[in-house]
Amino acid sequence: MKPRILILSCLLLAGELFAQQYQKTAVGIKTKLQSMDVEIQFYSPSIVRILKSPEGVLFKKESLSVTKKPQETKLTIQQKGDVLSMKSEKLKVDVDFKSGKISYYTLAGVELLKETESGATFTDFDDVGSKTYSINQLFTLDKDEAIYGLGQQQRGKLSLRNTKINMIQDNKDDYVPFLVSTKGYGLFWDNYSPTTFEDKPRSTSLKSEVGDCIDYYFMVGGTIDGSIAGMRELTGQAPMFPLWTFGYWQSKERYKSQNELVGVVSKYRELGVPLDGIIQDWQYWGNNYLWNSMEFLNPEFPNPKKMVDDIHNMNAHLIISIWSSFGPQTKQFREMEPKGMLLNFGTWPQSGVESWPPNRDYPSGVQPYDPYNPEARDIYWRYLNKGLFSVGIDGWWMDSSEPDHLDFKPSDLDLKTYLGSFRKVRNAFPLMTVGGVSGHQRAASSDKRIFILTRSAFAGQQRYGANTWSGDVNSSWESFRNQIPAGLNFSMSAIPYWNTDIGGFFAGAYKKGWGDGTKNPSFQELYVRWLQFGAFTPMMRSHGTDVPREIYNFGKKGEPIYDAIAKTIDLRYSLLPYIYSAAWDVTNSQSTMMRALVMDFNDKKVVDISKEYLFGKSILVAPIVNAQYTPETIVKSNEQTGWDKNNEEKGAKDQTINFTQTKSTKVYLPEGTVWYDFWTNEKIKGGQEIEKTTTIDESPLYIKSGSIIPFGPKVQYATEKKWDILEIRIYPGANGEFTLYEDENDNYNYEKGAFSTIKMEWNDKSKTLNISKINGSFKGVLKNRTFNIVLVDKTNTAAGINNSKFNKTIEYSGKAKSVKL
């Protein structure tokens, strides 16, 4: 009898020990692992959060990026030996009490990701008097999986494997600590301090300088798209931009008077070249001591209201440069400084007088503000609203939003912000400053959609109506090549809107011996190829210093370079129905506009292709990224050297270049589909590299079989004509579908249901196009329209746009129709 009692007691004790190993919560469990307090929280069936901290150390963490709250999720919890398994409807999470590692699986038992044993470390760190930690977490990745994201890097590569990246925001590098895997999961490291990502053969790690806790989110999406959708569910959805933002934008450093600015728009209208946006760069406020005053204090801008009205009367829009810093003579500086709302470190500009090199005898005194402080964000908007929004400016060019941090000293990170040391929150600076403007504008008015062009970004910024550009990049072929993988990794970081300075920012090297540089064939070729790439990014914006970018500086109609530029801009406008519908797919279905080929094709050869991508889900873009007509020039410059204007000395001109010659380039077409050459309609089987004949005015474009693409009318600006007559091209060879989206173009009524969709489905076997009844309505919705339908084949030699032979023309009044072709 006594032995039985002993055995029973041991069993009860063992059960009690197992029971004490974890505690159930409303959204998961709490437990202790290897001297750490660990909490696992399910935010949804597919998203789980892991929190780790040294045992017994209390902390408070309110995420700057995450907007979603954890939701009660149906879980099955079972323990076998040392392993606790938690199952939701979407994934399984295993906790190994012995090794301390956490692993993630599909419901079918396929391992997705696992921590390494003893992979979490906390190292004591004194953060300007605050006891905290440097934190590190190690994971084990499969040898053959590929990972992408982590924001924008100028590495020239797509894959993140076998890479070390020191993530601290910079002019040309925008870091977002979110990555996606070809195995169908996403990982978000929720930390704002300088962080190092390193992928080695045995482990992959994320190490941050400051963290009261390890805080990361694992999400299972099944695909890269699904993982991105999970990240947007967690950190906010991307709103719709106005239709006009998808037109062509002209800019330069800088228009020096309101007459010059308005004159550019007028000249485009006179030439009949489409234009929707013009951008005013810095110093409309006057001297550097008045930096970012948000007022037109420069006498060359005497009547800003008239300037804005003149631009609007030509059916164009204006956005204007604003910064994250203020000069010492501005009202903002004088109001913020006594309240401790400025960060005293070296930023742009460094001299109070406009000259190069900076005159250190006359320091500018410009300082960034503290956007982590809600009162500082209020002050920022108050002046922005009064000085610029009130005169009708249409959007904001938020320059230096990382911000510029020149002559960096480690002690600069010791500066105090509203949320602690600058070190602790450094990388979230762009999120806070962009969010401050976006939130205030939306509270002030819903009549005009927020549009912010910004130089930096952080996790969650997609919710603020911002399009990020890639910074002050060099004007060189090498730099141009780097932009494609930079944009694709940025897009796979769940922030869908991105663009570049078309032609590159620092272009002074092309002026030597060539006046303003616009007649230099080396720059002409690079500019045209960059423009052709820019036509297939979410914002088509020409900008840079030294060499002007307006079309009329490159010649006149009938000349090869002028005609190539005009043709590319026209192509962009013809695709606006496709592009705007793709934007709705981003907002409504968490899609991505610039798509790495690995997102859509199960083809091992595309895993690390960094020079091609899909724009939307139908158009393969293969930019020409090597010089074909001129020698390639390597240009190196940065924020410091790029402003050196000592480049007017005479130089040897290139030999005469014949831009009418045909050239060729290689293009890889992914397997699993048939492709159509956009320019010739030639049908080509995927899974092969081809040699493509090219001209200066055409860059390789291919359309996936099964695609349905609407083409809009020829216009001078995006809303000039309604889409009452559309060309609908069908690329046969597979079934396909497309949803045409329309709304009121520039307000938030779409959030209340004021929009319409028309779904089109192609049945390849029966050669039938089924057009649904119109779904939804809004003020101004078209009651009747004409669809000119083209079944693409080589007999319909389209030469790109606007001159195909129509197979059928149908009248559509909003009722369902089937068309046999």
Whether 273 maps to a domain, the answer reads yes
9: CATH? 2.60.40.1760
Tokens of 62: 């309110």
Whether 227 maps to a domain, the answer reads no
Whether 254 maps to a domain, the answer reads yes
The sign one gets for the Cα dihedral 708, 714, 720, 724 is negative
Q: Are residues 200 and 273 in the same domain?
A: no
Please give the pLDDT value at position 646: 66
Active-site position among 276, 472, 501, 550: 472
- Largest interatomic CA distance in the chain: 107
Whether 118 maps to a domain, the answer reads yes
Please give the pLDDT value at position 745: 97
Please give the pLDDT value at position 234: 98
Chain-centre distance for alpha carbon 310? 31
Whether 179 maps to a domain, the answer reads no
Whether 130 maps to a domain, the answer reads yes
Domain limits for position 398: 243-519+537-555
Distance CA 83, CA 104 (A): 13
Q: Are residues 432 and 371 in the same domain?
A: yes
What are the backbone angles phi and psi of residue 642, rounded to the nearest 5°?
-65, -20
Q: Contact 538/238 with Cβ under 8 angstroms?
A: no
The sign one gets for the Cα dihedral 417, 420, 423, 424 is negative
Q: Are residues 130 and 272 in the same domain?
A: no
361 is catalytic: no
Q: Single out the residue of 390, 538, 545 nearest to residue 465, CA to CA.
A: 538
Q: For residue range 499-508, what is the model confidence (pLDDT) as tens digits?
A: 999 999 999 9
Amino acid found at 292: N
Amino acid found at 436: G
Active-site position among 39, 190, 281, 399: 399
757: CATH? 2.60.40.1180
Tokens of 700: 């390789």
426: CATH? 3.20.20.80
Please give the pLDDT value at position 548: 97
Distance CA 610, CA 482 (A): 9
Please give the pLDDT value at position 356: 82
Q: Are residues 78 and 130 in the same domain?
A: yes
Q: Are residues 192 and 314 in the same domain?
A: no
Whether 653 maps to a domain, the answer reads no
Distance CA 38, CA 48 (A): 13
Q: Are residues 366 and 472 in the same domain?
A: yes
b/e per residue, 313-340, with b = 16+ CB within 10 A? Answer: ebbbbbbbbbbbbbbbbbbbbeebeeee
Element (H, E) at 584: helix 576-589
Q: For residue range 74-104, what is the model confidence (pLDDT) as tens digits?
A: 999 999 999 999 999 999 999 999 999 999 9
Q: Are residues 384 and 461 in the same domain?
A: yes
Q: Are residues 53 and 190 in the same domain?
A: yes
Q: Are residues 264 and 214 in the same domain?
A: no
How many domains does the chain contain in total?
A: 3
Q: Are residues 109 and 247 in the same domain?
A: no
Q: Which residues of the chain have pLDDT under 70?
A: 1-20, 640, 646-655, 796-804
Q: Contact 157/199 with Cβ under 8 angstroms?
A: no
Q: Are residues 204 and 278 in the same domain?
A: no
Burial class of residue 156 in the structure, from the number of CB atoms within 10 Å of its CB (0-12 exposed, 13-18 middle, 19+ buried): middle
CA angle (730, 734, 736) in 5-degree steps: 60
Please give the pLDDT value at position 624: 98
Whether 806 maps to a domain, the answer reads yes
Q: Contact 288/352 with Cβ under 8 angstroms?
A: yes
Active-site position among 174, 225, 233, 402: 402
Tokens of 7: 């055995």
Distance CA 659, CA 694 (A): 11
402 is catalytic: yes
Amino acid found at 258: Q
Q: Are residues 129 and 264 in the same domain?
A: no
